[in-house]
Amino acid sequence: MAKEFFTGSATARSSDELSLADIVFESWDSFDSNNNDDVDEKNNNDDSICASEKCKAFWEEKDQLLKGILSRTSSCEKKVREATKEVVREMKKSEMMCCCLPQVVAKSCRKCMLRDICDRLLNLGYNCAICKSKWRSSSEIISGEHRYLEVTDDLSNTKREQVIKVVIELSFRAEFEMASANEEYKQLIKRLPEVFVGKTERLRALVKIMCSAAKKCMKEKKMHIGPWRKHKYMQAKWFGTCERSTMEPLLIMNSTSRQPKPKASMLTFDLLDNIQGLYSTTVEVV
């Protein structure tokens, strides 16, 4: 009986101990779960802060790089830039006839604007030409073509001969504008000149910065970047294979002179003028 009592007592005690152990372990599990949730939330907050700081550092770096590149210039670039400003100013005052569309002023046509500016720079003694780049589609980029101006300057010395190429892009800022851009990207766009005049090395650096910023902008907005916004596509515009050419100057139309009237057809206007004689009164000849 004593043995049975002892066994029964031990069984009851063991059951109580198991219940207590279950309670203790459940409490620890609950504590660990809550603690892990707090740690995960803290890690998420830290990651969010870290990502925000990285984004801020990225845009600040691009802004500083952009300002540094645009603030530097050479004597050759400055000379061509001033000449281009004067040429564009004169072009806006005059009226050039467009060779693409009749009765259209040339300054509303990009192709004729390039011809006009190129001709004026040639008259000023600059070795200017119209460059047309054209590339085929591939697995990386889509096909396209682009026209811009290029001024070359030969610098010779005792050691080597160097050819400096200065690119003139009439719509440089518009090449990088995006309707769905964030505020950071828009600030970079505002720093870009409307008309770019600079060496190819400077242009290459600017294109790299802006394409990197465009990619980052679309990633932050969780949008796909268009194939025409990618770095290789933009590089093909100014740094690929191109054809250099100079064209015949455009005809200058004096703003005070009247445009010639269209000639009337012999079957319409002249006939109507002479048809009055058919209805003249009959005169009796004596």
pLDDT tens track for 109-152? 888 889 999 999 999 999 999 999 999 998 889 999 999 999 99
User: Is the confidence at residue 10, as pLDDT, over 50?
Assistant: no
User: Is the confidence at residue 158, as pLDDT, over 50?
Assistant: no
Query: What pLDDT is recorded for position 67?
Result: 96
Contact present, 24 and 32 (Cβ < 8 Å): no
Of 77-86, 165-174, 259-268, minimum mean pLDDT range: 259-268
Is residue 15 domain-resident? no
Q: Are residues 91 and 189 in the same domain?
A: yes
Mean pLDDT, all residues of the chain:
77
Q: Are residues 42 and 121 in the same domain?
A: no
Q: How would residue 255 be classed by pLDDT, with cut points 50, 70 and 90?
A: very low
Query: What pLDDT is recorded for position 71?
Result: 94
Mean pLDDT, to the nearest integer, of 57-80? 95
Q: Are residues 78 and 43 in the same domain?
A: no
Q: Are residues 202 and 83 in the same domain?
A: yes
Q: Are residues 85 and 213 in the same domain?
A: yes
Q: Are residues 118 and 212 in the same domain?
A: yes
Contact present, 130 and 250 (Cβ < 8 Å): no
Selected residue with higher pLDDT from 251 and 268? 251
| Cα dihedral 32→35→41→44 (10° resolution) | -70
Q: Are residues 101 and 50 in the same domain?
A: no
Is residue 175 domain-resident? yes
Mean pLDDT, to the nearest integer, of 180-188? 95
User: Is the confidence at residue 62, as pLDDT, over 90?
Assistant: yes
Of 146-150, 169-173, 239-243, minimum mean pLDDT range: 239-243
Mean pLDDT, to the nearest integer, of 150-155? 83
Scan for tokens 């060496």, then name that residue: 199
Query: What pLDDT is recorded for position 125?
Result: 94
Selected residue with higher pLDDT from 17 and 236? 236
The two three-digit tokens of residue 111, written as one number: 């192709």
Is residue 221 domain-resident? yes
Which tens digit of pLDDT belongs to each residue from 224-233? 998 999 999 9
Q: Are residues 46 and 112 in the same domain?
A: no
Q: Are residues 158 and 208 in the same domain?
A: yes
Is residue 270 domain-resident? no
Q: Are residues 45 and 89 in the same domain?
A: no
Q: Are residues 235 and 135 in the same domain?
A: yes
Q: Are residues 31 and 125 in the same domain?
A: no
Q: How would residue 97 be classed by pLDDT, with cut points 50, 70 and 90?
A: low
Selected residue with higher pLDDT from 119 and 161? 119
Number of domains in the chain: 2
Is residue 273 domain-resident? no
Query: What pLDDT is recorded for position 30?
Result: 56
Domain span including residue 40: 23-54
d(Cα 230, Cα 215) in Å, to the nearest integer? Answer: 8
DSSP per position, the chain: -HHHHHHHHHHHHHHHHHHHHHHHHHHHHHHHHHHHHHHHHHHHHHHHHHHHHHHHHHHHHHHHHHHHHHH---HHHHHHHHHHHHHHHHHHHSEEB-SSSTT-BGGG-HHHHHHHHHHHHHHTT-EEEEEEEEE---SS---EEEEEEEEEEEEE-SS-EEEEEEEEETTTGGGT--TT--HHHHHHHHHS-SSEEEEHHHHHHHHHHHHHHHHHHHHHTT-PPPGGGSHHHHHHHHHS-EEEE--PPPPEE-SSSPPPPPPPPTTTHHHHHHGGGGGPPP----
pTM, entire model: 0.68
Query: What pLDDT is recorded for position 285?
Result: 44
User: Is the confidence at residue 207, as pLDDT, over 70?
Assistant: yes
